[in-house]
Amino acid sequence: MIELLKHIETLLLENDCVIIPSFGGFVSHYTPARWIEEEGIFLPPTRSIGFNPQLKMNDGLLVQSYMTSYCTDFSDASKLINKAVDELINTLHVEGKVEMHGIGDMFFTIHGRLQFQPYEDGLLTPYLYGLSSFGINKIDEVAKTIDEEVVPETSNPKVYEIRVNRSFIRTAVAVAAAIIIFFFMSTPVENTYVEKGNYAQLIPSELLEPFDNSMKESIPAKRQVNNQKVQEQIKPKAIKEVVIPKSNTENKSNTAKPSAESINKNSCHIIIASVNNRADAQEIVDRLISKGYSKASIIEGNKWIRVSIMSLSNNDEANNKLLQLKKNKNFKDAWLLTDK
Protein backbone atom coordinates (compact mmCIF):
# COMPACT_ATOMS: atom_id res chain seq x y z
CA MET A 1 0.00 0.00 0.00
CA ILE A 2 2.82 2.40 0.84
CA GLU A 3 4.37 1.70 -2.55
CA LEU A 4 1.05 2.55 -4.22
CA LEU A 5 0.85 5.91 -2.42
CA LYS A 6 4.41 6.76 -3.49
CA HIS A 7 3.55 6.07 -7.13
CA ILE A 8 0.47 8.31 -6.90
CA GLU A 9 2.46 11.15 -5.32
CA THR A 10 5.15 10.93 -8.01
CA LEU A 11 2.67 10.81 -10.90
CA LEU A 12 0.75 13.84 -9.61
CA LEU A 13 3.90 15.98 -9.93
CA GLU A 14 3.56 16.04 -13.73
CA ASN A 15 0.01 14.78 -14.40
CA ASP A 16 -3.36 16.36 -13.73
CA CYS A 17 -5.19 13.07 -13.23
CA VAL A 18 -4.12 9.73 -11.74
CA ILE A 19 -6.66 6.89 -11.59
CA ILE A 20 -6.45 3.94 -9.20
CA PRO A 21 -8.31 1.08 -10.95
CA SER A 22 -11.48 0.00 -9.12
CA PHE A 23 -10.95 2.69 -6.45
CA GLY A 24 -11.11 6.28 -7.79
CA GLY A 25 -9.14 9.07 -9.37
CA PHE A 26 -7.17 12.05 -8.07
CA VAL A 27 -7.63 15.22 -10.14
CA SER A 28 -5.53 18.38 -9.72
CA HIS A 29 -6.75 21.95 -10.37
CA TYR A 30 -4.57 24.99 -11.04
CA THR A 31 -5.33 28.11 -8.98
CA PRO A 32 -3.68 31.34 -10.21
CA ALA A 33 -2.10 33.93 -7.93
CA ARG A 34 -4.61 36.21 -6.21
CA TRP A 35 -4.74 39.40 -4.13
CA ILE A 36 -6.35 39.38 -0.67
CA GLU A 37 -7.70 42.88 -0.17
CA GLU A 38 -8.48 42.49 3.55
CA GLU A 39 -5.04 41.21 4.52
CA GLY A 40 -3.06 43.15 1.95
CA ILE A 41 -1.10 40.14 0.68
CA PHE A 42 -0.52 38.32 -2.59
CA LEU A 43 -1.00 34.54 -2.57
CA PRO A 44 1.13 32.50 -5.00
CA PRO A 45 -0.39 30.18 -7.61
CA THR A 46 -1.09 26.68 -6.33
CA ARG A 47 -2.41 23.29 -7.43
CA SER A 48 -5.27 21.89 -5.40
CA ILE A 49 -6.17 18.22 -5.44
CA GLY A 50 -9.54 16.50 -5.41
CA PHE A 51 -10.81 12.92 -5.38
CA ASN A 52 -13.49 11.51 -7.69
CA PRO A 53 -14.70 8.00 -6.73
CA GLN A 54 -16.44 7.62 -10.11
CA LEU A 55 -13.13 7.46 -12.01
CA LYS A 56 -12.40 3.74 -11.78
CA MET A 57 -11.45 2.84 -15.37
CA ASN A 58 -7.81 1.86 -15.82
CA ASP A 59 -6.11 4.50 -17.99
CA GLY A 60 -2.76 2.69 -17.93
CA LEU A 61 -0.79 5.52 -16.29
CA LEU A 62 -0.37 3.84 -12.91
CA VAL A 63 0.24 0.45 -14.54
CA GLN A 64 2.98 1.95 -16.71
CA SER A 65 4.65 3.38 -13.62
CA TYR A 66 4.62 -0.06 -11.96
CA MET A 67 5.97 -1.72 -15.12
CA THR A 68 8.89 0.73 -15.22
CA SER A 69 9.61 0.42 -11.51
CA TYR A 70 9.47 -3.40 -11.29
CA CYS A 71 10.64 -4.15 -14.86
CA THR A 72 7.62 -6.38 -15.42
CA ASP A 73 4.79 -6.73 -17.90
CA PHE A 74 1.26 -5.33 -17.91
CA SER A 75 -0.37 -8.41 -16.36
CA ASP A 76 1.97 -8.63 -13.38
CA ALA A 77 1.81 -4.87 -12.79
CA SER A 78 -2.01 -5.00 -12.74
CA LYS A 79 -1.90 -7.79 -10.16
CA LEU A 80 0.40 -5.76 -7.92
CA ILE A 81 -1.93 -2.75 -8.14
CA ASN A 82 -5.02 -4.82 -7.32
CA LYS A 83 -3.25 -6.26 -4.29
CA ALA A 84 -2.25 -2.78 -3.08
CA VAL A 85 -5.81 -1.46 -3.59
CA ASP A 86 -7.25 -4.32 -1.50
CA GLU A 87 -4.76 -3.51 1.26
CA LEU A 88 -5.70 0.21 1.09
CA ILE A 89 -9.42 -0.52 1.41
CA ASN A 90 -8.78 -2.95 4.27
CA THR A 91 -6.73 -0.31 6.14
CA LEU A 92 -9.52 2.25 5.68
CA HIS A 93 -12.06 -0.17 7.17
CA VAL A 94 -9.84 -1.12 10.08
CA GLU A 95 -8.23 2.21 10.99
CA GLY A 96 -10.80 4.50 9.38
CA LYS A 97 -8.16 6.82 7.94
CA VAL A 98 -5.12 6.70 5.65
CA GLU A 99 -2.63 9.55 5.46
CA MET A 100 -1.30 10.11 1.93
CA HIS A 101 1.99 11.98 2.25
CA GLY A 102 2.11 15.18 0.19
CA ILE A 103 -1.50 14.77 -0.98
CA GLY A 104 -4.04 14.61 1.85
CA ASP A 105 -6.04 12.30 4.12
CA MET A 106 -8.46 9.56 2.99
CA PHE A 107 -11.18 8.34 5.41
CA PHE A 108 -14.72 6.94 5.67
CA THR A 109 -17.57 9.13 6.92
CA ILE A 110 -20.15 7.99 9.48
CA HIS A 111 -22.41 7.17 6.55
CA GLY A 112 -19.81 4.83 5.05
CA ARG A 113 -18.86 7.14 2.22
CA LEU A 114 -15.25 7.58 1.14
CA GLN A 115 -14.02 11.13 1.80
CA PHE A 116 -10.78 12.90 0.86
CA GLN A 117 -9.32 15.96 2.63
CA PRO A 118 -6.43 17.63 0.72
CA TYR A 119 -3.63 19.53 2.43
CA GLU A 120 -4.13 23.28 2.75
CA ASP A 121 -0.70 24.03 1.28
CA GLY A 122 -1.78 22.47 -1.99
CA LEU A 123 -0.14 19.85 -4.13
CA LEU A 124 3.63 19.92 -4.50
CA THR A 125 4.47 21.20 -7.99
CA PRO A 126 8.02 21.57 -9.38
CA TYR A 127 7.39 24.72 -11.44
CA LEU A 128 5.62 26.42 -8.48
CA TYR A 129 8.19 25.39 -5.90
CA GLY A 130 9.53 28.23 -3.72
CA LEU A 131 6.70 30.69 -4.37
CA SER A 132 5.28 32.13 -1.18
CA SER A 133 2.86 34.84 -0.19
CA PHE A 134 4.04 38.39 0.45
CA GLY A 135 2.50 41.61 1.70
CA ILE A 136 2.67 45.06 0.18
CA ASN A 137 1.55 48.45 1.41
CA LYS A 138 -0.47 50.89 -0.64
CA ILE A 139 1.08 54.14 -1.67
CA ASP A 140 -0.59 56.98 0.20
CA GLU A 141 -0.81 60.32 -1.50
CA VAL A 142 1.01 62.74 0.75
CA ALA A 143 0.96 66.40 0.03
CA LYS A 144 4.46 67.67 -0.13
CA THR A 145 5.52 71.26 -0.16
CA ILE A 146 8.41 72.00 -2.40
CA ASP A 147 10.26 75.16 -1.82
CA GLU A 148 10.90 76.81 -5.06
CA GLU A 149 14.28 78.31 -5.41
CA VAL A 150 14.03 81.91 -6.39
CA VAL A 151 16.65 82.92 -8.90
CA PRO A 152 17.36 86.61 -8.68
CA GLU A 153 17.24 88.43 -11.96
CA THR A 154 20.48 89.99 -13.02
CA SER A 155 20.50 93.53 -14.15
CA ASN A 156 22.79 92.78 -17.08
CA PRO A 157 21.64 89.57 -18.82
CA LYS A 158 24.17 87.77 -20.97
CA VAL A 159 23.71 87.95 -24.72
CA TYR A 160 25.01 85.10 -26.90
CA GLU A 161 25.75 85.67 -30.56
CA ILE A 162 25.54 82.84 -33.11
CA ARG A 163 27.18 83.55 -36.41
CA VAL A 164 25.94 81.76 -39.52
CA ASN A 165 27.92 81.57 -42.74
CA ARG A 166 25.43 82.76 -45.34
CA SER A 167 27.53 81.63 -48.29
CA PHE A 168 27.46 78.07 -46.95
CA ILE A 169 23.65 78.17 -46.69
CA ARG A 170 23.33 79.44 -50.26
CA THR A 171 25.60 76.67 -51.53
CA ALA A 172 23.63 73.98 -49.71
CA VAL A 173 20.32 75.27 -51.08
CA ALA A 174 21.73 75.34 -54.63
CA VAL A 175 22.99 71.75 -54.37
CA ALA A 176 19.63 70.52 -53.04
CA ALA A 177 17.79 72.30 -55.86
CA ALA A 178 20.14 70.78 -58.47
CA ILE A 179 19.52 67.26 -57.12
CA ILE A 180 15.74 67.73 -57.21
CA ILE A 181 15.84 69.08 -60.80
CA PHE A 182 18.08 66.18 -61.86
CA PHE A 183 15.57 63.56 -60.67
CA PHE A 184 12.57 65.33 -62.21
CA MET A 185 14.18 66.19 -65.56
CA SER A 186 16.28 63.06 -66.15
CA THR A 187 15.48 60.86 -69.15
CA PRO A 188 13.73 57.63 -68.15
CA VAL A 189 15.92 54.60 -68.55
CA GLU A 190 14.43 51.53 -70.12
CA ASN A 191 16.00 48.14 -70.25
CA THR A 192 15.74 47.13 -73.90
CA TYR A 193 17.92 44.09 -73.59
CA VAL A 194 15.97 40.89 -74.11
CA GLU A 195 17.43 37.81 -72.61
CA LYS A 196 16.45 34.84 -74.69
CA GLY A 197 16.41 32.52 -71.70
CA ASN A 198 13.54 34.47 -70.10
CA TYR A 199 11.07 33.74 -72.92
CA ALA A 200 9.28 30.54 -73.73
CA GLN A 201 10.30 28.76 -76.92
CA LEU A 202 7.75 28.01 -79.58
CA ILE A 203 8.61 24.31 -79.58
CA PRO A 204 10.19 22.65 -76.50
CA SER A 205 13.85 21.83 -76.99
CA GLU A 206 13.14 18.27 -75.81
CA LEU A 207 11.22 17.72 -79.05
CA LEU A 208 14.41 17.93 -81.06
CA GLU A 209 16.70 16.02 -78.70
CA PRO A 210 18.38 12.83 -80.01
CA PHE A 211 15.90 9.96 -80.28
CA ASP A 212 16.22 6.19 -80.28
CA ASN A 213 17.76 4.63 -83.35
CA SER A 214 14.72 2.39 -83.70
CA MET A 215 12.47 5.43 -84.37
CA LYS A 216 14.68 7.10 -86.97
CA GLU A 217 14.17 6.72 -90.66
CA SER A 218 16.92 5.18 -92.69
CA ILE A 219 19.21 7.94 -93.98
CA PRO A 220 21.17 7.30 -97.15
CA ALA A 221 24.88 7.49 -96.61
CA LYS A 222 26.33 10.76 -97.82
CA ARG A 223 29.43 9.95 -99.74
CA GLN A 224 30.84 10.68 -103.17
CA VAL A 225 30.86 7.84 -105.65
CA ASN A 226 33.60 7.95 -108.23
CA ASN A 227 32.33 4.84 -110.06
CA GLN A 228 35.21 2.85 -108.56
CA LYS A 229 35.29 -0.28 -106.42
CA VAL A 230 35.90 0.23 -102.70
CA GLN A 231 38.23 -2.18 -101.05
CA GLU A 232 37.72 -2.99 -97.36
CA GLN A 233 40.41 -4.71 -95.37
CA ILE A 234 38.89 -7.29 -93.02
CA LYS A 235 41.94 -9.09 -91.70
CA PRO A 236 45.65 -8.46 -91.96
CA LYS A 237 46.23 -11.63 -94.01
CA ALA A 238 42.97 -11.95 -95.98
CA ILE A 239 41.83 -9.03 -98.12
CA LYS A 240 38.33 -8.98 -99.55
CA GLU A 241 36.88 -6.49 -101.98
CA VAL A 242 33.35 -5.26 -101.41
CA VAL A 243 31.50 -3.64 -104.28
CA ILE A 244 28.84 -1.10 -103.31
CA PRO A 245 26.13 -0.88 -105.98
CA LYS A 246 25.46 2.57 -107.36
CA SER A 247 21.73 2.18 -106.73
CA ASN A 248 22.27 2.30 -102.93
CA THR A 249 23.88 5.76 -102.99
CA GLU A 250 22.05 8.97 -103.57
CA ASN A 251 23.04 12.56 -104.07
CA LYS A 252 23.19 14.84 -101.06
CA SER A 253 20.43 16.98 -102.48
CA ASN A 254 17.98 14.07 -102.38
CA THR A 255 18.34 13.69 -98.56
CA ALA A 256 18.04 17.36 -97.71
CA LYS A 257 14.36 18.03 -98.39
CA PRO A 258 11.56 16.00 -99.96
CA SER A 259 10.23 17.18 -103.30
CA ALA A 260 6.94 18.97 -103.49
CA GLU A 261 5.48 16.33 -105.80
CA SER A 262 6.08 13.48 -103.35
CA ILE A 263 4.48 15.47 -100.51
CA ASN A 264 1.42 16.28 -102.54
CA LYS A 265 0.91 12.63 -103.49
CA ASN A 266 0.82 11.56 -99.84
CA SER A 267 -2.55 12.16 -98.20
CA CYS A 268 -1.70 11.21 -94.58
CA HIS A 269 0.56 13.49 -92.55
CA ILE A 270 1.84 12.92 -89.02
CA ILE A 271 1.69 16.37 -87.39
CA ILE A 272 3.98 17.19 -84.46
CA ALA A 273 3.63 21.00 -84.23
CA SER A 274 1.46 23.95 -85.37
CA VAL A 275 2.90 27.47 -85.72
CA ASN A 276 1.78 30.90 -86.92
CA ASN A 277 4.42 31.68 -89.53
CA ARG A 278 6.39 29.81 -92.13
CA ALA A 279 9.80 30.88 -90.83
CA ASP A 280 9.29 29.05 -87.55
CA ALA A 281 7.94 26.01 -89.36
CA GLN A 282 10.95 25.93 -91.69
CA GLU A 283 13.32 26.12 -88.73
CA ILE A 284 11.64 23.09 -87.13
CA VAL A 285 11.74 21.16 -90.41
CA ASP A 286 15.45 21.91 -90.89
CA ARG A 287 16.24 20.71 -87.40
CA LEU A 288 14.17 17.53 -87.88
CA ILE A 289 15.99 16.79 -91.13
CA SER A 290 19.33 17.33 -89.40
CA LYS A 291 18.24 14.79 -86.76
CA GLY A 292 17.53 12.17 -89.42
CA TYR A 293 13.86 12.74 -90.29
CA SER A 294 14.30 13.37 -93.99
CA LYS A 295 10.54 13.30 -94.74
CA ALA A 296 9.78 16.27 -92.49
CA SER A 297 7.79 18.93 -94.36
CA ILE A 298 5.50 21.96 -93.99
CA ILE A 299 1.73 21.56 -94.39
CA GLU A 300 -0.03 24.90 -94.95
CA GLY A 301 -3.73 25.31 -94.16
CA ASN A 302 -6.19 28.20 -93.97
CA LYS A 303 -5.08 29.64 -90.61
CA TRP A 304 -2.30 27.42 -89.32
CA ILE A 305 1.03 26.21 -90.64
CA ARG A 306 1.70 22.67 -89.47
CA VAL A 307 4.92 20.66 -89.34
CA SER A 308 4.74 17.06 -90.54
CA ILE A 309 7.47 14.64 -89.52
CA MET A 310 6.50 12.29 -92.34
CA SER A 311 3.78 11.91 -94.97
CA LEU A 312 2.36 8.60 -96.20
CA SER A 313 -0.13 7.59 -98.82
CA ASN A 314 -1.58 4.61 -96.96
CA ASN A 315 -3.83 5.33 -93.97
CA ASP A 316 -3.08 2.05 -92.17
CA GLU A 317 0.65 2.51 -92.60
CA ALA A 318 0.35 6.07 -91.30
CA ASN A 319 -1.52 4.88 -88.18
CA ASN A 320 1.17 2.28 -87.50
CA LYS A 321 3.90 4.92 -87.84
CA LEU A 322 1.95 7.22 -85.53
CA LEU A 323 1.70 4.53 -82.86
CA GLN A 324 5.44 3.93 -83.09
CA LEU A 325 6.17 7.63 -82.75
CA LYS A 326 3.90 7.98 -79.71
CA LYS A 327 6.08 5.49 -77.86
CA ASN A 328 8.70 8.22 -77.82
CA LYS A 329 7.90 10.76 -75.09
CA ASN A 330 8.96 13.60 -77.40
CA PHE A 331 6.17 12.71 -79.87
CA LYS A 332 3.41 11.70 -77.43
CA ASP A 333 1.18 14.57 -78.71
CA ALA A 334 1.59 13.73 -82.41
CA TRP A 335 -1.60 13.29 -84.44
CA LEU A 336 -2.65 12.24 -87.93
CA LEU A 337 -3.89 14.71 -90.57
CA THR A 338 -5.69 13.24 -93.60
CA ASP A 339 -6.37 15.20 -96.78
CA LYS A 340 -10.06 15.01 -97.72
Q: How many whole angstroms separate alpha carbon 193 and alpha carbon 183?
A: 23
Give the neighbor-by-neighbor strand order of the sheet with 335-338.
297-300, 305-312, 268-275, 335-338
**Nearest-angstrom CA–CA distance, 308 and 297:** 5
Annotated domain spans of the chain: 2-135, 254-340
Give the whole-angstrom CA distance, residue 25 versus residue 19. Answer: 4
Considering the domain 254-340, what is its CATH architecture? 2-Layer Sandwich (3.30)
Each residue's pLDDT, cut to its tens digit, for the chain (340 residues) gives 788 888 888 888 888 898 988 889 988 888 788 888 888 888 788 788 888 888 888 888 889 999 998 898 999 989 999 999 999 888 888 888 888 887 888 888 877 788 888 887 766 676 676 677 778 777 764 444 455 555 555 556 667 677 767 787 888 888 888 888 888 775 555 444 444 433 334 454 555 454 444 444 433 433 333 434 333 333 344 333 333 333 333 333 343 344 333 444 567 888 888 888 888 889 988 988 988 888 888 888 767 788 888 888 888 888 888 888 888 887 888 888 887 5
- Provide the greatest CA pair distance for the chain: 135
**CA atoms of 58 and 77, how far apart (whole Å):** 12
Q: Categorise residue 211: left if φ over 0, alpha if ψ from -120 to 50, beta otherwise.
A: beta
Query: Dihedral angle at the C-alpha atoms of 317, 319, 325, 326, nearest 10 degrees?
Result: -160
What count of residues does the chain have?
340
Q: What is the pTM of this model?
A: 0.38
SS3 track for 219-288: CCCCCCCCCCCEEECCCCCCCEEECCCHHHCCCHHHHHCCCHHHHHHCCEEEEEEEECCHHHHHHHHHHH
| Long-range contacts formed by 101-105: CB under 8 A, 24+ apart | 101/5, 101/9, 102/9, 103/5, 103/8, 103/9, 103/12, 103/26, 103/49, 104/49
Beta bridge partner(s), residue 297: 308
